[in-house]
A and B are shown apart, each in its own frame.
Chain A
Amino acid sequence: EAGVAQSPRYKIIEKRQSVAFWCNPISGHATLYWYQQILGQGPKLLIQFQNNGVVDDSQLPKDRFSAERLKGVDSTLKIQPAKLEDSAVYLCASSLWGGGEETQYFGPGTRLLVL
């Protein structure tokens, strides 16, 4: 079974530029999560989708971050414009239906460096 796919794996941009990350969850998984992991910290949830609807985006900085999951499968996360403090690993995860006791499967992440 294929895991969660993410691209690109690495990205270096200058501040004020825009960037987009892509995630393809495990086939059949209804729930998709985007996490931000700053160096030396644990992942922090940015947004959770159930199919193509947003369940929780309370920690998403909506002035510069946006995410969509139009057809309930793939998802993109965009930052526009980027700031230095956005340098982090952006992890995508998916789970079967989003129940609390369910396993979330994580992708390898996209490492973003903002200069």
Chain B
Amino acid sequence: GQQLNQSPQSMFIQEGEDVSMNCTSSSIFNTWLWYKQDPGEGPVLLIALYKAGELTSNGRLTAQFGITRKDSFLNISASIPSDVGIYFCAGLYNQGGKLIFGQGTELSVKP
């Protein structure tokens, strides 16, 4: 079945540093989504990407939909302590289809 490989698995960074994480798949997706999950909560959508090559920003977050439709990356600039959490990529092949989630990248930010 479809699988997403997300890396790195975890990151420990200093406040103010930039962060980059990515997601790759052996299958193509037509929609890429990035979620953040805080401890004890459900995932919250950060950015949605609908077209190959698309680059979208949401505040300090920037995400890109890979041109091959098999990958996506998320950048966080000037990290702050509240960026701590687990970031998930998710792919969707067609409308009404099910979301496939990556394994998550756990981000820790040291003040």
Interface residues of A (CB under 8 A from B): 4, 40-45, 48, 55-56, 91, 93, 98-101, 103-104, 106-109
Contact = CB atoms under 8 A, between A and B. Distances in A.
B3 to A, nearest CB: 10
A93 B48 contact: no
Contact of B97 (A41, A91, A100): A100
A42 B102 contact: yes
Contacts of B45: 103-104
Q: Is the interface of A mostly helix, strand, loop or mixed?
A: loop
18 contacts: A41-B101, A41-B104, A42-B101, A42-B103, A56-B98, A91-B43, A100-B92, A100-B95, A100-B96, A100-B97, A101-B92, A101-B95, A106-B43, A107-B42, A108-B41, A108-B42, A109-B40, A109-B42
B90 interface: yes
B41 A109 contact: yes
A93 B42 contact: yes
B104 A101 contact: no
B31 A100 contact: yes
A98 B44 CA distance: 17
B99 interface: yes
Contacts of A103: 45, 48
B42 A42 contact: no
